[in-house]
Structure 1
Amino acid sequence: MSDEESLLAVEREVALMFRRGRARVAELSRRVHPELEGMAYSMLGYIEQAGRVRVTDVGVHFAVGKATVSRQIRALEELGLVARETDPLDRRAALVSLTEDGRRRYLVARDVRMRRVRELLGSWSPEDVDRFAVLLHRFNDVIGEPPAE
C-alpha cells in the first residue's frame, strides 16, 4: 500500500470509528440517565477522572464554547449528577465534581462499556492491546494540537 493509500485507509477507519462512537456515547449517556444525550457520558467521564475541575477546563477539553459547556453542566447539575462550587483560588470560577449518585450512575454505564471493550478485544494479545492503546493515545495527542498554519 502506498503512503497515500495508507492515509486514506486511516481517514476512512477513523471517520467510521467517530460515527459509530457518537451513537454509542449518546446511548451510554441515556444509560446514565434517561434524560441525557449527546456527549454527557464523555463529560461525566472527564469530570470523574479529574475529581474536581473548572467548568472552563471542561470546555477546553471538549473544545466547546463557554455557553455550550455551561448549558451542559447546568443540565447535569439539575439532574443531580454533578455539583458546582466556587473555586477557592478564583471566586469568579466554578468547579464541578460528580455527586455520589452521578458517580454511581456513571460507573454502572462505564462497566457496561468496558464489558463491550473486553468482548471486542478479547481475542487480541495483551501486546496488541497495549500497542493499540499507545497508538490511540498518540493519535489523540496529535488531534488535540492546534492546526499548523
Structure 2
Amino acid sequence: MEEYTKNTTREQLELKLGEQLNALISASHALNVRTAARFDSTLQPAAFLIIRWLFSFGPTNATVLAESTAMDRSSVSRLVNQLKRLGYVKSETSPDDRRGVLLSLTELGRQQTMDALIEKESTFYKRISKWENSELEKFIKLLNKFNGNECQ
C-alpha cells in the first residue's frame, strides 16, 4: 500500500481517490456483467439490472423500474417482456390500483438470482476475508460517510 506523507497535496490525494474509485467502479461493472451472464447468458446485462432491482426491492411498476435503473421506459418494457417470456418475471394487477400492473420475480427468477449472486458475493467476501473486523468496520464507516449516510 502506498504511503502518504505530510507533503502529499490535497490535489494528489483527490487524484489517488479518483483512481481508486475508478478501479472500484470498473471492477464492479465487470463483476455485474459476469453475474448477469451467470444468471442467463442469453440476456443483455441491462436485463439483470431489472432482475436485481426486483430482487432487492420487490414488486413495482415499470415507471419506477425505469426511473430506478436510469433506463428509458421503452427499454424497460422490452426487457421486461423478454424476462416474462423466459419465466423470470410476472405481472399482476396492483392491489392498490386495479388499473395498475406490478412486476415481480417468479420463483424461477428468484432462484436464478440467488444462484448468480452467490458467485458475485464470494468475490467480495474473498477480498475482505483476511481483513480484521476493525478494518472492515472502518471501511464501512468511511463508505457510509462518503455516500452521505453519516447518520446511519
Could you tell me how far 1:117 is from its partner in structure 2? 1.3
**In 2 relative to 1, CA 94–141 (structure 1 residues): closer, same or farther, beyond 3 Å?**
farther
Aligned to 1:146: none
Distance in 1, Cα, partners of 2:148 & 2:90: 29
Could you tell me how far 1:47 is from its partner in structure 2? 0.7
- Equivalent of residue 45 in structure 2, options 10, 17, 38: 38
> Is the 2:51–2:113 Cα contact (8 Å) retained in structure 1?
yes
**Secondary structure of the structure 1 residue equivalent to 2:54:** helix
**In 2 relative to 1, CA 130–63 (structure 1 residues): closer, same or farther, beyond 3 Å?**
farther
> Is the 2:65–2:76 Cα contact (8 Å) retained in structure 1?
yes
Stretch of structure 1 that moved more, 86-95 or 28-37: 86-95
Q: TM-score, normalised by structure 1?
A: 0.80
Percent sequence identity over aligned pairs: 25
Distance in 1, Cα, partners of 2:79 & 2:135: 36
Q: Residue type of the partner of 2:30? A: A
Q: TM-score, normalised by structure 2?
A: 0.79
**In 2 relative to 1, CA 130–79 (structure 1 residues): closer, same or farther, beyond 3 Å?**
farther
> Is the 1:30–1:36 Cα contact (8 Å) retained in structure 2?
yes
2:101 aligned with 1:74, yes or no? no
**In 2 relative to 1, CA 111–5 (structure 1 residues): closer, same or farther, beyond 3 Å?**
same
Distance in 1, Cα, partners of 2:37 & 2:105: 17
Q: 1:76-96, CA deviations, whole angstroms, 9 ceiling, x for partnerless residues?
A: 222111111232323454311
Q: 1:37-83, CA deviations, whole angstroms, 9 ceiling, x for partnerless residues?
A: 32333332221122212222122222222122222222222211111
2:19 aligned with 1:12, yes or no? yes
> Is the 1:22–1:38 Cα contact (8 Å) retained in structure 2?
no
2:140 aligned with 1:133, yes or no? yes
The higher radius of gyration belongs to: 2
Distance in 2, Cα, partners of 1:85 & 1:17: 38
**In 2 relative to 1, CA 12–52 (structure 1 residues): closer, same or farther, beyond 3 Å?**
same
Distance in 2, Cα, partners of 1:26 & 1:2: 36
Aligned to 2:102: 95
Q: Specify which structure has the higher proportion of strand.
A: 1
Q: Residue type of the partner of 1:100? A: E
CA RMSD of aligned residues (A): 2.2
Q: Residue type of the partner of 2:26? A: R
Q: How many residues align?
A: 142
**Secondary structure of the structure 1 residue equivalent to 2:26:** helix
Distance in 2, Cα, partners of 1:86 & 1:125: 48
* Structure 1 residues not aligned, in runs of 5+: 143-149
Aligned to 1:86: 93
* Structure 2 residues not aligned, in runs of 5+: 1-7
